[in-house]
Structure formats: structure tokens, C-alpha cells
Structure 1
Amino acid sequence: MSTTPVRPTTILIQPKDAAPKAPAAPSMKVFLELAFRPLYLAGTSWALVAIALWIYTPGLLTAPLGGLAWHAHEMLWGFIATIAFAFMMTAGANWTGITPMAGKVLALACVLWVVARIGFLLPFEAAFWLAMAAELSFFLLGSGAMLRAVAVSKNSRNYAMPVFLAGLAATDALYLLTARGGDYLLLMQRFNAGLVVMALIALLIGRRVIPFFAMRAVHGLTLPTQMKTGWVQLGACTVGVVSLLAGIPMLSAAALGLAGTLALVQIISWKPLAVRGNALLWILYVGYSSIGIGLLMAALQYAGVDLPRVLPVHTIAMAGFSVMIIGMVTRTALGHTGRPLATDRTIRASYWLMLIAVALRLTAIAATPATATLLHIAAAAWIASLALYLWQFTPMLIRPRN
């Protein structure tokens, strides 16, 4: 009999793959901790719905604020200014160390915003006035919250922010009151004043965050702060708003031309070729430069150059603000929810769809047999761009930080 010992059989137990971590449950407390969460979703959702109503079912817009007046108002104050409001309330926490708006106050702001959107759609005079009161309260609540944050923190660098929000409220009130009076030329004058207030906010926020984002993302990139030209741009836009309201076209032309020129000088100094491979950055560069180009167009128009009336408006508002917005609401949402600062195919698709919508809408300004078709395709691209954003980011924004 063999005496060779028998080795025990070794049984290797393969560990099972760890089950993927289930996403955290949605949380109302988290949803209301910073303004970007509810208001990014609200603003982008409304931009999608408002364009669908305006392009595909304009016959439904029979409220006292109807037709073109409703479209212009909802795009500027209902969408663009709402996203700016959300960004300022969110960034204000970093700038001052105090969260300007959260919890019940943020919930109140959201309710006021919803009341305004519904009220401006209802075909009743009382609904218009209720909506107006709610919307002005929304902006003034934000102005007061930001004023408290900068005052308590003694953050003198940001004392202009509550003034900007109050400026949005003031131009909004002027616009809405004029809309009830029926003076179209005065209405557009006041709309343009609101547009320049919003341009001022976008230019100054962009001046602050775009170089910061770029230097963090691109190794070795150093960009100038250009604080002195920022003050000049602030002054130029302020003069632009006052001269527009006062009806002084040549002064408006000079002020808007200076503001637009400075925006383009800034873009060049920010070395755009260095960020061409980073979609989170180049989309912001495109939007910022488009605001500058649109302001130059507006300057030429006020100086007497014969340009299509809506060309500067759509260049500033759509090619400028809306392109910056689709970049900003993705970049800041990724950062504040703890996700990597990188784009995937869905995000890049939303960017390209927005750019296609802009190109088609600007092309449609020229009256041709294809104008109606171009408008419908542009609207479809716009809706698809924002729908992709909502599909991807809604689950992130209603849940705790990753």
C-alpha cells in the first residue's frame, strides 16, 4: 500500500460581483437645498413647453399677455432670467459663504414662479395681474436674499448682484405694464432694456466663471482676470439700459458697441483654441462670444444700419444666452452633484441640437418660402436638446450628491 499522503482538494470559491449600488431615493430636503436643483429643471422644462406652444399651437395663446408679447416675455424672464436667478442663488453660497436661498424660502420662490407661468397663460385679466405680482415677487425675493448674503458676509465684490436681480424685476414690470397699453414700439424698447440687463448679468458672470473653469480643466492654462475692463463693461451696459429707456439711440449704439467689443476682446484673451477639445468649455465660449456679436449688431442697428429687426435680439438671446445656458446647467449640475466634469454622448448631442436650433432660427429670419419649415425644424431641435438635458439630469437633481 502506498504511503504517499493524499493532498486535500482545494476548492476556490469565486466571489460574486458586488451588486451595483442602488441610487439614493429622491429627497425633497435635498431638492430644496440649493436653487439650481428645482429652478434648472423648472426653467429648462418651461423653455421646452413655451417654444412648443409658440411654434406649434400659437392659437392657444389667448391670454391678456398673448402672441409675440407672451413669447418674448417668457423666453427672457420666464426662461433665461430664471436660470440666471438659479445660478446666482447657487454660486452665491460659494461667493459669500452663506446660502442665499434654501428650504422654505426656495419653495416659496418656486411657487411664485409657477403661479406666474400659469397666470400668464390664463385668459383672464385678474390672472394677468396675479401672475405679474407673483413674478415680480419672485425676482425681488431673490434680490433680498442675495442682499442679505452679501451684507452679512460683508462681501463687497458681490454687492452688484442684488441690484441686477432688482433690475430684472424693474424692466419686467415696465414691460408688462406696457404690454397692457398696446404701444408696440414702447414695448420693444422696454424689452430691449431687459435684454441688456440680462446681457450685463451674463457677461459679468461669464467673465468670472469661464476663465476659472478653463484654468481648472486645461493643465498649465493661465488666463487674465481683466477686472478693469469688467468695470468698463458694467458701466457701458448700465448706460445702454438708461439710454434705451430714455430713447437716445446714438448713445445706446456707443454703449452697446463698447460692451460687445469688450466681450470679444475677452474671448480672444481666454485662448479659445486651448479649450477646443473640451465641450463643457467651448460651448460657454460660443455663447459668450455670441452675446458680444449680438451687442455689436444692436449697436449698428441703433446707429442707423439697416439690419433685420430681430437679428440682434435672437443673436443675443438664442445664440448667446441659450447656448451659454445649456453649457452652464450641465457643467454646474455635474459639479454640484459630485459627478465627473466630462461630457458623454447625450450631453454633446444636446449641445449640437441647441446649435442646430440656433443656426436654423437665424437662417429663418430671412423671409423665404422655407421660413416656416426652418422654424418648425429649429423648434424640434430646441425641444430635443432640452429634453435630453431633462432626461439625463432630472434623476441627478432630485437625489443627494453622488
Structure 2
Amino acid sequence: MNAATSDKPRAADLSMLLAAPHRAMFLIGALALLANMIWWTGVLSAAWFGLPFAPQPMPSAWAHGFLMQYATLSPFVFGFLLTVFPRWLNLRDIPKPVYAAVFSLVLGGGLLVLGAHSGMPRLLPFGFAAMLAGWLVAMTVLGQRLLQNHGKDRWAVSAYAALAFGAAGLVLALAFACGAPARWMQASISMGTFGLLVPVYFTVAHRMVPFFSSNVVPGYRVVRPLGSLAGVWLLTLAHLAFDLCDASAWRWIADVPLACLLLWQWLAWQPWKARRPGLLSVLYVALAWLPLSFALFAADSIALAWHGSSGWARAPLHALTIGFFASMLVAMVTRVTHGHSGRPLAMGAIPWIAFIGMQATAVVRVLADATRHPWPWYLAAAALWLLVLAPWVVRAAWIYLTPRKDGKPG
């Protein structure tokens, strides 16, 4: 009986991690989804109950933002781009030693940063430096392929530009760890959100969501104009500029048109046609959070301009990071994981629990800021995150450590 037809359970094998770029990088991200949130739940619990906690080399909220963006979501970005970038450009695959180096440096750096916030603060600059080194290795090999393609693929150029903003954010973080002003670290976190993640997520969605839809939806009309991609870039960078200049009361100038543009693009992708299969519909549900989050950012900015204060706290940010980033992560990574492991392109019970749980987590965290006593809700959102993602992470980790079900390489 061959590998494609055998139903016998397979033993996990660490060597399988390097069989394809996405395996190792997705494993880092999946484990970090739990590890970094366990740490953050501990921080929240200690603050609420007045318990002692390990010394922090920077405010815990900053560390949370950095860890979730650069050490948790970014490995998934690298796993995806190191796999699909050569295919987008019709060039040779990334060599194993290269993505192995990226895996080792990003993993090691993330562990050092987490260790720095768990009682060993002197590890912080070494963690930032290792992550930056891994980032630059990945950018070098991807950049070489972009040059070979002469920059003809607009989505590849856009994704690479987002990685450049991420590298700049890591440089700022490393400078802060070496003595630069605190504002540099704040800028690093903002750059991770609005220079790296929003553009790269939207770029991938702009290319892949219409492609997936047209493959399974009869009569689907592909709409992915260059203007919407450029517009999202321009307005997101304007949002970032207002943030960096401490001009949040004027941020609505970017956020109102950005919310409208994102809503138009979502509707242009015809979500009403994508109710089935589930693996497609979840992409559209996740995408709905994107215009909603920037509408909340706009409302927050208008409130600041009108009243001088806002009661939204960090609700818009968590609508973006949990509602959009985390939901789209579960949806897209489930698709890639199943497709690249020889499994059916279907959600399944565990991915559905993770995805629906992310919707609930986002709602709880967003509404928490509207309550008089938000701390119990902060903890509830963190606990719900761990509860619904733990089975998904365990299942994904097993897939990354075992051979493809169809017996193919990779």
C-alpha cells in the first residue's frame, strides 16, 4: 500500500519541518499564538490581582504588541511568502538552507524577546538582532527573485515593500533596546501594524481571494484593480504618519476614505456569492472586519477632534488585530496547510471552532472597552483565545511534523 492510500497513523518527524518553507515558519507562528498569549494572560492577571511579575525591559503593552506582530504573525507571513513568491514570479524555489536560516533566527529571536520579558531583560537586544538578521536573510532571497522578475508582479512588489517596513520597525526596536528614546519602540509597533501587516494582508487578499473565488463560484467576476491596492497603501501610510506625529485627532482624514475604499473592495468581491464552501466564506467574514476596524478608527479620531477624548480605548485596534488579522490567519493558514499536506480543501470541526472562536474573542475584546470594569473582559478574551486556538495549533503542528497524506514531497 503506498503513501497516498495508507490510513495508518504516521509518527512525527522533526526532519519534515524543513520539507517546505511554510512548515517550519507556520509551526513557529502557531506555537507563538499560544506561548505569547499565555505570557500576556499572566501579565493581565498579575496587574488585575496585584501579583508580582517578572521585571520588564519595556511596558508590557508594548511587548504584547511587538510579540504578537513580529514574533507571532510575521512567521506566518514569511512562511507564506517564502513558499508562494517564487511561484508568483515563475522562478526557482527558495533553497532549504536559506529558509532553515530564517526559521532558526526568527525562532531564536522570538524566544529571546519572550525571555527578556520573563525575567531576563538583558536578552532583549539579542532577540531583536536575531529577528532582524532572519528578516534580512528572507528579504535578500526574495529581493533577488523580485529583481529577476524586474518588478513586474505588482503583488510581489507590494508584499516586499511591506517587509521593508517590517525591517525598519525591527531596526527601531533594536535601537531602542540599545538606548534610543522610547518613541522609537512605539514607532516600531505602529510600523508593524500599519506599515507591515495591513499592507501585506491586504496584498495577499487582493491577489488570492478573487482567485480562490473564481475557481469555485460559477459566474464570479474578478475585481482587483491596481488603484485599490495603491489606495490602501497610501491611506494606511497616512494613518501611520498621523500616529507617528501624535496627531490622532486628524487621523480621520485618512481613516474615513480608507474605510470606504475597503468596504467598496469587499463588496466588489461579491461576498454574497461566496457562502460555500466554508473555506471560502471564512475569508469574506474575516475581510469584513477590515473596513469595520477603520470605521472604528475614524470614529475614535473624530471623537478626539470633537471632544478631546475618546471612550474607545483600544477597541479599533483589536477589531483590526483580532477580528481581521487573527481571523484571516486561521482562514488562510487552514487553506494553505490543507492544500500543501494533501488534505481536502475543507474547514473541518477544529478549524471551525478556531474561526468562530476568533469572532467571539474579537467581539468580547472590542466591547470590553465600553464597559465600566473592562479587566475581567480583557482576561476573558485572552482565555477564549487560548481555548479555541489550542486544538487548532496542536492539529496544525502535527500536520507540519508529518508527511503529506498524498505521498507527494513538500
Instruction: Give TM class, smaller chain.
Output: 0.7 to 0.9
Q: TM-score if structure 1 supplies the norm length?
A: 0.86
Residue 69 of structure 2 contacts residue 193 of structure 2 at CA under 8 Å; is this kept in 1? yes
Q: 1:255 to 1:99 in 2, by over 3 A?
A: farther
Residue 140 of structure 1 contacts residue 169 of structure 1 at CA under 8 Å; is this kept in 2? yes
Distance 1:337 1:233 in 2: 33
> Structure 1, residues 111-158: CA drift from partner, whole Å, max 9, x if none?
112221221223445411111101111222221121112222435212
Q: 1:151 to 1:23 in 2, by over 3 A?
A: farther
1:159 aligns to what SS in structure 2? helix
Q: What is the Cα deviation at residue 108 of structure 1? A: 1.4
* 2:157 corresponds to: 159
> Structure 1, residues 82-114: CA drift from partner, whole Å, max 9, x if none?
222222222213212335644222121121122
More displaced stretch, 184-193 vs 71-80: 184-193
* 1:195 corresponds to: 193
1:46 counterpart = 2:32: yes
Residue 31 of structure 1 contacts residue 37 of structure 1 at CA under 8 Å; is this kept in 2? yes
> Structure 1, residues 301-335: CA drift from partner, whole Å, max 9, x if none?
34435242311211111111011101111011111
**Which amino acid is the alignment partner of residue 111 of structure 1?**
S
More displaced stretch, 172-181 vs 277-286: 172-181
Q: 1:254 to 1:193 in 2, by over 3 A?
A: farther
Q: 1:138 to 1:307 in 2, by over 3 A?
A: farther
Q: 1:104 to 1:27 in 2, by over 3 A?
A: farther
Of 343, 349, 362, which residue of structure 1 is paired with 2:366?
362
Superposition pairs of residues 10-159 of structure 1, within 5 angstroms: 20-23=6-9, 26=12, 30-56=16-42, 59-65=52-58, 67-98=60-91, 101-120=94-113, 121-122=115-116, 123-157=119-153, 158-159=156-157
2:224 aligns to what SS in structure 1? coil
**Which amino acid is the alignment partner of residue 62 of structure 2?**
A
Residue 100 of structure 1 contacts residue 149 of structure 1 at CA under 8 Å; is this kept in 2? no
Q: 1:100 to 1:138 in 2, by over 3 A?
A: farther
Superposition pairs of residues 316-335 of structure 1, within 5 angstroms: 316-335=320-339
Distance 2:376 2:244 in 1: 36
Q: How many pairs are equivalent?
A: 383
Q: 1:96 to 1:352 in 2, by over 3 A?
A: same
Structure 1 segments unaligned to the other structure (5+ residues): 1-18
Residue 211 of structure 1 contacts residue 270 of structure 1 at CA under 8 Å; is this kept in 2? yes
More displaced stretch, 154-163 vs 326-335: 154-163
Distance 1:278 1:381 in 2: 26
Q: 1:312 to 1:175 in 2, by over 3 A?
A: farther
**Which is higher, the Rg of structure 1 or of structure 2?**
1
Q: What is the Cα deviation at residue 189 of structure 1? A: 4.8
Distance 1:49 1:389 in 2: 14
Structure 2 segments unaligned to the other structure (5+ residues): 47-51
Of 357, 375, 380, which residue of structure 2 is paired with 1:377?
380
**Which amino acid is the alignment partner of residue 156 of structure 1?**
K
Distance 2:78 2:295 in 1: 26
More displaced stretch, 294-303 vs 172-181: 172-181
Distance 2:273 2:360 in 1: 24
Q: 1:307 to 1:199 in 2, by over 3 A?
A: farther
Superposition pairs of residues 183-332 of structure 1, within 5 angstroms: 187-197=185-195, 198-249=197-248, 252-303=251-302, 304-305=304-305, 306-332=310-336
Q: How large is the RMSD of aligned CA atoms in angstroms?
A: 2.7
